[in-house]
Structure 1
Amino acid sequence: MDGMVSELGLAGWGVLLTVGLGAGIVKGVVGFAMPMVMISALGSMVSPEVALAGLIIPTVVTNVWQALRQGIGAAWESTRRFWRFLLVGFVLLMGSAQLVPYLPKSLMSLMIGVPVAVYAAWGLSGRPLALPGASGRRGEAIMGAVAGFFAGFSGVWGPPTVAMLTARGTDMQEQMRVQGVIYGLGSVALAGAHLVSGVLNSATAPLSMALVLPALAGLWLGFRIQDRIDQRTFRKLTLLVLLIAGLNLIRRGVLAI
């Protein structure tokens, strides 16, 4: 960690903390995208493994807040309703997380950047984000498997989760809560998986902990914004940022090959 501090400098740390704040704001407004914003932005400054470690603890803490914002009873009902998605996602997450130390950095950047860019471009096209069959039990399990696989090596659950919820016709308030529950339980599993894989360790944990406060501040601001502005407009701006970030990761992955 000492080496990371001296290498980044005060300006670099200022950027990192700003990234945590911005990612928290985005999550507070739309309920997701915090890991995608953080892995994309942090990945431009540090290695993919360090970027992944950095987002783990802030993701756990902010998801707990989001999940419990409407009370423990509502959160438990969401857990009961989407247990298939959670169970299948957990199994795939634990397995794919062990691949991180063995994946080339260029491959990690491409595997994260491509789905982020495709998802953002699809959303910006104005087409409804719904997948055939995703509203049934089998579709829910399949989407859980996809989400868990990508979350294991990237920390990103958002796109397949949002697709599944949209296909089920989930209203906005419940979708915010359900996302908090799904991402919260998933992020706890992610933290455990990467304690085992070695990605989250004594050298990377301080960075992750340092990003907690700006992420919480951003989440608070995002919740305030969500109550006051047209969420559809802000979500389009968020998708544009994600598209740029995803394309940047693809660029880095291609250049590293």
Structure 2
Amino acid sequence: MLNYSFPLTAAIVATFFAAGLVKGVTGMGLPTVAMGVLGSLLSPLAAAALLLVPSFVTNVWQLLAGPQFGMLIRRLWPMMLTIVLGTVFGSMLLTGGRTELTTVALGVALVIYATYTLLAKPLGVSPRWEPWLSPVIGLVTGLVTGATGVFVIPAVPYIQSLDLDQDDLVQALGLSFTVSTIALAIGLVWHGAAPVGNLLTSTLAVISALLGMAAGQVMRTWISPQLFRRLFLIFLLLLGLEMALHGLLRT
């Protein structure tokens, strides 16, 4: 791949395959795995730039596969709007050149997400709270996305609390991740931090991610998604702890 040594290129290809595998089994996790692993090999900014095209392609695929696109847009547009605003604003931290700080922030985000998902009980949001809670959740998600490149906090627990059926839930997550990816791309380009070389490399990584997704969808037929998801979250927890501690020691 462009601008990288062969060992690093192999690591990038393997990372996107593994991230696609997780997404194929669980329906989510590609950006989180890719940012977590690549953020430990590269700067979080470089990892975020590599993530853009594979994340966009795989999440648009997930978004358009469901039947309720129009309904979800009408219901979730305030959240999507504030995700964009928060991400563009939050990307100032990711593009600010403070690599140690962004590494710590990424590690903390992974730890919080993994710990919450492993231990917390599912939430339920009353329909009367949704009109004002959705924009707040979107803004916080955007700020976290812009600062760390991780799309899942607190958007995923919130969307899971909206009493959607399984197909609509998967499509709603695809919508949130697609909007987050577009917003992150806008933030990086706005700050001149998405060089063409990285975008070309990111495009090549799509093939690896799609192969991983296909393998994950096959694997889902003979492995327990719940067990796989738990092991994946434990891995993220340990990775986040290592990144946060490493970043703190370098500050």
Among 75, 100, 107, which residue is 1:106 paired with? 100
State the TM-score, normalizing by the size of structure 1.
Answer: 0.89
Q: CA RMSD in A?
A: 2.1
Tell me the percent identity: 27
Aligned counterpart, 1:209: 203
Give, in angstroms, the shift of residue 144 of structure 1: 0.7
Asked if 1:179 is matched to 2:173, the reply is: yes
Paired with 2:124 and 2:44, the residues of 1 have a C-alpha distance of 30
Give, in angstroms, the shift of residue 109 of structure 1: 0.9
Aligned counterpart, 2:138: 144
Task: Structure 1: give runs of 5+ residues left out of the alignment.
Answer: none
Paired with 1:193 and 1:240, the residues of 2 have a C-alpha distance of 30
Aligned counterpart, 2:87: 93
Give, in angstroms, the shift of residue 48 of structure 1: 1.8
Amino acid at match of 1:13: T
Among 68, 73, 83, which residue is 2:77 paired with? 83
Write out aligned runs for 1:14-163 (5 A).
Answer: 14-70=10-66, 73-125=67-119, 127-130=120-123, 136-163=130-157
Paired with 2:79 and 2:53, the residues of 1 have a C-alpha distance of 22
Paired with 2:238 and 2:193, the residues of 1 have a C-alpha distance of 26
Task: Structure 2: give runs of 5+ residues left out of the alignment.
Answer: none
Give, in angstroms, the shift of residue 133 of structure 1: 6.8
Give, in angstroms, the shift of residue 55 of structure 1: 0.7
Structure 2 CA distance for partners of 1:219 and 1:17, relative to 1, 3 Å: same
Paired with 1:254 and 1:205, the residues of 2 have a C-alpha distance of 29
Paired with 1:16 and 1:147, the residues of 2 have a C-alpha distance of 26
Aligned length: 250
- Structure 1 runs of 4+ aligned residues shifted over 4 Å read 131-135
Structure 2 CA distance for partners of 1:220 and 1:76, relative to 1, 3 Å: farther
Give, in angstroms, the shift of residue 213 of structure 1: 0.8
Structure 2 CA distance for partners of 1:129 and 1:245, relative to 1, 3 Å: farther
State the TM-score, normalizing by the size of structure 2.
Answer: 0.91
Amino acid at match of 1:130: L
Q: Secondary structure at the match of 2:163?
A: coil
Give, in angstroms, the shift of residue 207 of structure 1: 2.3
